[in-house]
Amino acid sequence: MTDADEQRLIERSKEGDRRAFDALVRMHEKRVYNLAYRLCGNYDEAGDITVEAFLRVYQAINSFRGDANFSTWLYRIVTNVYLDRRKRQKNRKTLSLEEYVELEESQVTRQIEDPSPGPEELAEAQQRQELLQKAIESLPEYQRAMIVLYHVDGLSYEEIAEVLSLPIGTVKSRLNRARLALREKLEPIREAF
């Protein structure tokens, strides 16, 4: 398929033509899966990354401007999906259920402690969240947008730059200033954090 054919499929996909989008998926699915597999090294996870990446492409196809090749844009999305999954996995704590505790005369299956927070911890966390939300809301709009897009929505610098139509350097500097402003607002109530 030629670049012109691919461009026609992209334009038709932007207009809501699902057959055109399906053709784009078929055209790129093997390369996307191979990239996902090379990134994660697991067949099943590569399949999940591939599906999530194409879902993101479907949701964001209208934002594709054509400044770069479609495959470049697609590969960036695949990489972001992979990195997002890694971030989520790092935050998950795992413990083997097969572990045993050795006692003098026998073995006992390890009891797993309930890691969920108690009522006091939940109340403190809710209070911290409210204080943080008020501090974010008190920031100027452009700083608030930077904090929310990066830290709450988890967008990359590139994605924020695309969303706000700004150069990446500007995104980085504005995000840094927004973090400093937020830190300054939170300084008087630092003990709550």
Q: Choose one of 90, 109, 144: the last residue of a domain.
A: 90
Same domain, 11 and 80: yes
Residue 100 above 60 pLDDT? no
- For the entire predicted model, the pTM comes to 0.48
- What average pLDDT score do residues 92-111 get? 61
Residue 105 included in any domain: no
Residue 104 included in any domain: no
Cβ atoms of residues 6 and 31 within 8 Å:
no
Q: What is the CATH number of the domain that holds 49?
A: 1.10.1740.10
- What average pLDDT score do residues 31-59 get? 92
Cβ atoms of residues 28 and 71 within 8 Å:
yes
Question: What is the number of alpha carbons within 13 Å of residue 118 lying toward its C-beta?
Answer: 2
The count of structural domains within the chain is 2
Please state, in angstroms and as integers, the Cα–Cα distance from residue 151 to each residue in 136, 137, 143, 157, following that order. 11, 14, 12, 11
